[in-house]
Amino acid sequence: KNEVEQSPQNLTAQEGEFITINCSYSVGISALHWLQQHPGGGIVSLFMLSSGKKKHGRLIATINIQEKHSSLHITASHPRDSAVYICAVRSETGNQFYFGTGTSLTVIP
């Protein structure tokens, strides 16, 4: 069983739709990261969360520590949001990182 599970694995949306990507984890964590990887490109760190909610532009990330669950929301989605979104957690006991396998998002004009 993976320490980090993401859903869905693949997601296709129409431009303008509200998108939610979910992440559940089974280990104790000190922080949770949402990463974005464009095809053929590097990886960008979108958010780091240890509690509550963060917002940056059209992106919103939330985390529920008790339920060991995080969500990444994209409002008014745009084709340039098409990418793989990866959830990663940092263990509370050390510097071990666990990664989800990613959610591939395609936004159609």
Partner 1 sequence: GAGVSQSPSNKVTEKGKDVELRCDPISGHTALYWYRQSLGQGLEFLIYFQGNSAPDKSGLPSDRFSAERTGGSVSTLTIQRTQQEDSAVYLCASSLVRRGQVGYTFGSGTRLTVV
Contacts with partner 1 by CB under 8 A lie at 31, 33, 35, 41-45, 48, 86, 88, 94-102
Integer Cα distance of 19 and 36 in angstroms: 14
Integer Cα distance of 52 and 36 in angstroms: 20
CA dist 43 → 28, 35, 37, 38, 76 (Å): 24, 7, 5, 7, 22
Q: Which is nearer to partner 1, 47 or 77 (CB)?
A: 47
Q: What minimum distance in Å lies between the beta carbon of 19 and partner 1?
A: 20
Q: Which is nearer to partner 1, 63 or 77 (CB)?
A: 63
Q: What minimum distance in Å lies between the beta carbon of 82 and partner 1?
A: 18
Nearest to 23 by CA among 101, 107, 108, 109: 101
The residue type found at 24 is S
Q: What minimum distance in Å lies between the beta carbon of 48 and partner 1?
A: 6
Q: What minimum distance in Å lies between the beta carbon of 77 and partner 1?
A: 23
